[in-house]
Amino acid sequence: MEYGEILNWDLIAVSKALQSRQLSPKELTKLMLERIEAINPELNAFITVLHEEAMASAAKAEEEIMQGTIKSPLHGIPIGLKDLIYTKGIRTTMGSKIYEDFLPDYDASVVTKLKAAGAIIVGKLNTHEFAYGTTGDTSYFGPVRNPHDTAKITGGSSSGSGAAVAAHLCYAALGTDTGGSIRIPASFCGVVGMKPTFGRVSKWGVYPLCPTLDHVGPMTKTVRDNAMMLNALAGYDPQDPFSAAKEPEDFTEKLEEGVQGCVIGIPSSFFFEQLDSEIKVKMEQVISIYKDLGASIRFIEIENLEELSEAHGTVLRSEAYATHKLDLDNKTGLWEDEVKDRLQTGEDVRAFEYLEAQEIRKRAIQSFNKVFEQVDVLLTPNTPIMPLNLYEREVVVNHKKEHIFSVLNKFTGPSNLTGLPCMSVPCGLSNAGLPIGFQLTGRAFDESRLYRFAYSFEQAVFNK
């Protein structure tokens, strides 16, 4: 077996090799840690690498597998965690100087679930400070660089998670998503990113940004890997007041059912306006491929999407300010200036504006529910633009300069407000070799259908 090749394998291939004892967890973890040591200085994806802890977990996993105890397909698999996710006795920084040496005294629920599944946590991944940014280049620990072009942003805020999976520094990673923070870096780094339905995955033990918009989800190399990760993560948690009680399901079960006879909805406005020309071409190719796979396309009108996008911004600014007010007041000099300034704009949101935004949320959920009476999934671009250079903040859209933060999450934010499941799926590269992804959005708690559509596309394009 060529060990260098193992790094390029997907999670399911590695899982099979571990369970058949062709590969040992200790060998695999050592190989991964060596890869991180070699590559991370350039990418800056990891803030903390858990050398001793990971090798100890690998030794335990190896002993269990040798005894015939297989906890799950994740048993012995190296996985990374966005550094907003609490790990007992292991520093959790939120990408901020304020929490540079913070040691939680408990694990987040998702960490408990991953450990129960036998996964090996290899480290904590860099993030835009407090997850409040879509570029991924503003962290106390420095910017994360895109593995496809280190001069470019990865997208944020789950910047380290996207870069680490794309660069084969772990086989899967957890991110968080408040306005696109899983899907934007997934798109820019060429990996699969799932923002599950609000309440599907527990947020207990994950540092909040905006409690009614925050989601936790997996980032992986392939669609099947992603579904396997969600199998381990999903479930009711009484410690999370937003957690939804749903029957357990296997998200891989319907992957191969295909899309013949299914209906894909394409919004006729908003998502296809002011779109980068290369992204537009890719979207046309994606639509064509789904037609070839037997799906029909229906153009639909979704009302008030601009209003929905603005309401998302109102809720985000208000709740983010409330979450961080104490640290803003008491630890003024310890912030990254851009993040602090952005957070302070939330002080200006008035109560009636926040309440109006919540009413818009209710109407939007009803509107999308009606749409899903006509179609199986919605297909849209993931971002309007390609990755910019690190620290670049202005982009020209329709002959007008706009701030990148208001542009990057334009297509991703609405599904945070509605809470609907939404995933980013890779669909190829630009002329400059940068990844492009598209979005699939579905009914609440219908992640299985999204995975099925994503898998059909992936198999048609990347596994011919």
203 close to 240: Cβ distance less than 8 angstroms? yes
226 close to 149: Cβ distance less than 8 angstroms? no
d(CA 213, CA 335): 23
To the query of whether residue 115 is one of the catalytic residues in this protein, the response is no
Q: Of 63, 164, 169, 79, whose CA–CA distance to 120 is shortest?
A: 79
E strand spans, 188-251: 192-195, 215-220
438 close to 190: Cβ distance less than 8 angstroms? no
d(CA 142, CA 45): 10
To the query of whether residue 309 is one of the catalytic residues in this protein, the response is no
d(CA 158, CA 141): 14
d(CA 82, CA 92): 9
Q: Which of 26, 82, 221, 282 is catalytic?
A: 82
Neighbours of 379 (CB within 10 A): 23
427 close to 461: Cβ distance less than 8 angstroms? yes
To the query of whether residue 367 is one of the catalytic residues in this protein, the response is no
Cα distances (angstroms) measured from residue 252 to each of 27, 129, 158, 222: 28, 34, 24, 12
Q: Which residue has the tokens 């993931």?
A: 382
Q: φ and ψ at 422, to 5 degrees?
A: -155, 130
Q: Which of 161, 181, 187, 243 is catalytic?
A: 181
d(CA 217, CA 423): 10
| Range 276-284, long-range pairs (CB < 8 A, 24+ positions) | 276/384, 276/385, 276/386, 278/386, 278/430, 278/431, 278/436, 279/381, 279/383, 279/384, 279/385, 279/386, 279/436, 280/381, 282/427, 282/428, 282/436, 282/438, 283/381, 283/438
- 172-177 and 78-82 as β-strands: parallel, antiparallel, unpaired? parallel
d(CA 408, CA 215): 18
d(CA 265, CA 286): 13
E strand spans, 271-348: 296-300
Q: Which of 15, 96, 139, 157 is catalytic?
A: 157
d(CA 411, CA 383): 6
Catalytic residues: 82, 157, 181
